[in-house]
Amino acid sequence: MGSTEVTLCGVRLDNPVIPASGTFGFGYEFAELYDINCLGSISFKGTTIEPRFGNPTPRIAECEAGMLNSVGLQNPGAEKVLTEELPRLKKVFKKPLMANVSGFSVKDYTAAVEILDREDAIGWFEINISCPNVHGGGLAFGTSCENAAAVTAAVKKVTKKPVLIKLSPNVTDITEIAKACEAAGADGLSLINTLLGMRIDLKTKKPVLANKAGGFSGPAIKPVAVRMVYQVYEAVKIPIVGMGGISTAEDVIEMMLAGASAVEVGAANLAEPFACKNIIEDLPRVMQKYGIDNLKDITGGAHNG
């Protein structure tokens, strides 16, 4: 049987499969269904410095090959995540965690990271820069090289743990943002976050989501995600966590060939709670089918020749 072990920013994972933030709660909820220690890691629910109730409802809309969401980063705030949510998760999960952090100013990001940095179980920080910059006219941090670099540099100053920046696909050239983050000290990158989308109700003739637009995820975005991971792999030298439409072991292999060192599974968890477990269990079969002995050796394989 081939080896599914990979390394992400110097931290070893039994396999590259990580539930994506916002699709797996704080993790312990899924422990009621199966032993979540089969996972490579968990990127737990996006955390902000202050508690957030989230956006008004309706905030979920189904699509033909995916879904829209405008949940709005609902979470209890960094302090409660540290003192209430993570202790529950640590009882049922014994591997390093990925802390997904969001903010609406540079100070928000650093304050949340400083609080969560007190938790030894956190192996990496995944910084979501798709949030609107409240001090910059509302444009997402991830749409500007300057803003993306500013968040990266600020977070790097307040933690010694690896920092991965989660990139937005809603930009003209994602490689420019990636290079700016790398230059500012990022240890790795996660991509892609959701694409901006909308649905309109034919009966009411109004947008389905209360927030009008939302993040589009699911199988339909996989070709876009694979393309962007491929491009970013050629533009930077730091590790990439690839995501966007992954729902099978074959999808994992494809994303890794494009350049990912690990992958995150998002919308698939909402449709099938056992999605990550099923993917992990099927990986050895798919590896054997395609003659892969060591999964870590295939990262960027599509760039050879």
Tell whether the model's pLDDT for residue 181 goes beyond 70.
yes
Burial of 2 (0-12, 13-18, 19+ CB in 10 A): middle
Catalytic (active site) residue 276:
no
Q: Does 211 map to a domain?
A: no
Helix H or strand E encompassing 198: strand 195-198
102 close to 74: Cβ distance less than 8 angstroms = no
Q: Does 255 map to a domain?
A: yes
As given in the structure block, the two tokens for residue 111 are 């304050």
pLDDT band at 139 (very low <50, low <70, confident <90, very high): low
Tell whether the model's pLDDT for residue 167 goes beyond 60.
yes
What amino acid occupies position 259? G
Range in 9-13, 52-56, 122-126 the model is least confident about: 52-56
Q: Does 132 map to a domain?
A: yes
59 close to 214: Cβ distance less than 8 angstroms = yes
For position 103, what pLDDT does the model report?
94
How many domains in the chain?
1
Contacts of 256 (CB under 8 A, 6+ apart): 16, 242, 263, 295, 298, 299, 301
Q: Does 116 map to a domain?
A: yes
Q: What is the pLDDT of residues 59-81, one digit of tens each?
A: 999 999 999 999 989 999 999 99
- Give dist(CA 3, CA 152) in Å, integer: 33
The rounded Cα 246 to chain-centroid distance in angstroms is 12
Contacts of 300 (CB under 8 A, 6+ apart): 233, 257, 258, 259
Round the average pLDDT of the chain to a whole number and report it: 95
Cα separation values, 147 from 19, 33, 130, 169, 202, Å: 27, 40, 11, 15, 39
pLDDT band at 133 (very low <50, low <70, confident <90, very high): low
- Of the CA atoms within 13 Å of residue 223, those in its CB half-sphere come to 2
Contacts of 274 (CB under 8 A, 6+ apart): 33, 34
For position 130, what pLDDT does the model report?
84
Tell whether the model's pLDDT for residue 173 goes beyond 80.
yes
Q: Does 65 map to a domain?
A: no
Q: Does 77 map to a domain?
A: yes
Residue of 114, 51, 36, 126 whose CA lies nearest to 81: 51
- Give dist(CA 263, CA 244) in Å, integer: 9
% of the chain at pLDDT higher than 90: 93
Q: Does 64 map to a domain?
A: no
For position 132, what pLDDT does the model report?
65
Range in 91-100, 128-137, 266-275 the model is least confident about: 128-137
Q: What is the pLDDT of residues 224-244, one digit of tens each?
A: 999 999 999 999 999 999 999
Tell whether the model's pLDDT for residue 203 goes beyond 90.
yes
For position 152, what pLDDT does the model report?
97
Mean pLDDT on 146-171: 97
- Give dist(CA 169, CA 195) in Å, integer: 6
Mean pLDDT on 297-305: 92
Mean pLDDT on 187-213: 95
For position 305, what pLDDT does the model report?
61
Mean pLDDT on 127-138: 73
- Give dist(CA 234, CA 222) in Å, integer: 19
Catalytic-labelled residue, pool 9, 131, 145, 181 = 131
CATH number, domain with residue 84: 3.20.20.70
pLDDT band at 138 (very low <50, low <70, confident <90, very high): low
Helix (H, G, I), strand (E, B) or coil at 52: strand
Helix H or strand E encompassing 241: strand 240-243
Tell whether the model's pLDDT for residue 185 goes beyond 80.
yes
Q: Does 224 map to a domain?
A: yes
For position 42, what pLDDT does the model report?
98
Hey, how many other C-beta atoms are within 10 angstroms of the C-beta on 215? 22
**Which residue segment(s) compose the domain that 105 sits in?**
6-54+73-195+218-303
Q: What is the pLDDT of residues 72-116, one digit of tens each?
A: 899 999 999 999 999 999 999 999 999 999 999 999 999 999 999
